[in-house]
Amino acid sequence: MPTVPSFAKINLGLEVLGPRADGYTEIRTIFQSIDLADALEFEPADARAGEIAFTSDDPSLPADERNLVVAAATVLQVATGSHHGARIHLRKTIPSGGGLGGGSSNAAVTLLALRRLWGLRLEDAALQTLAASLGADVPYFLYGGTMLGLGRGEEVYPLPDASEAEVVVAVPPFRVSTAEAYGRARGLLTPRAGARTIWRFSPDFASASRGYSFTINELEAAVGTGSGLVARLRARLVDTGAVAACLSGSGSAVFGLFAQAEQADRAAAAIRREFEDTAALRCRTLDRATYRERVLETIARDF
């Protein structure tokens, strides 16, 4: 059964500009792939025409269109008039509710894989439109690497890949509702026309030597009751040698970037030892070329 990795992301920077006329929130963000990944297995369905059969090793996940994998497959069927079906199995590694984009990544990989599996003639631009209909982060995962996200995050533009870094992702024992976090953020921040930091992004700012100086997340103040723990985790990552540390997306995961693997290993051990029920995951950043090789070339080769 062909298997495709579904990589997580972190947000190297995230600024909240204010409410939009459509009810969503205007943001500026820098997406960055990391090599923490779920795995998705695909094969044609033989039970009946058009059946999407979803299973997972995580029993908490719904198996209907509340799951972004099923939603992505269904949207692709409707958009193309396809009567193909598929059996899809998800092996889950990316923590849910951490701001790491696991569900969005799963949706994007499903679109890419089923386009190939079903032999659909669908241009990348059309696939990106379908991705945006599923969620603001989904279009990013069609490309990977380091990208600027505008609008709700669905408008994505490639940036020079940030310096390779070792990563520790600290996952506290609580989840953050994205909708609630953005709602609180809109109440805390004054709308403004331009972004304070991210617009000055350049390759110089995406380097360990400069300390990833653009790395901020204005949603941290909107995490809610867990904000104290988030702040302590971020501070501890810096204390243990992180050149930068930040909340990812709307949280609750906090990441630290390290220049050396040994530093990152020690930091992960310290987080596990000092913070009860908090996971510390070790991974690395992933550039766009490697992302394409592991996702798109796998699909092209195996499907």
DSSP string, 197-266: SGGG--GGGGSGGGT-TT--BTTGGGS-TTHHHHHHHHHHHHHTT-SEEEE-TTSS-EEEEESSHHHHHH
In the numeric block, which tokens belong to residue 259? 């220049």
3-state SS, residue 121 = coil
Q: What is the DSSP letter of 141?
A: G
Residue 149's nearest CA partner among 170, 177, 178, 128 is 128
In the numeric block, which tokens belong to residue 117? 């599996």
In the numeric block, which tokens belong to residue 148? 């600027």
Exactly one of 38, 137, 161, 287 is catalytic; name it.
Answer: 137
Q: What is the DSSP letter of 140?
A: G
First-residue to last-residue Cα distance in the chain? 9
3-state SS, residue 147 = strand
Per residue, the 3-state secondary structure of 23-74, as one string, reads: CCEEEEEEEEEEEEEEEEEEEECCCCCCCEEEEECCCCCCCCCCCHHHHHHH
Amino acid at 110: T
Q: Tokens 């297995």, residue?
A: 41
Annotated catalytic residue 137: yes
Distance separating alpha carbons of residues 185 and 19, to the nearest angstrom: 10
Exactly one of 9, 38, 161, 287 is catalytic; name it.
Answer: 9
- The alpha carbon of residue 121 and the mean position of all alpha carbons in its chain are separated, in whole angstroms, by 27
In the numeric block, which tokens belong to residue 118? 């079903």
Q: Tokens 């994007």, residue?
A: 108
Catalytic positions, please? Answer: 9, 137
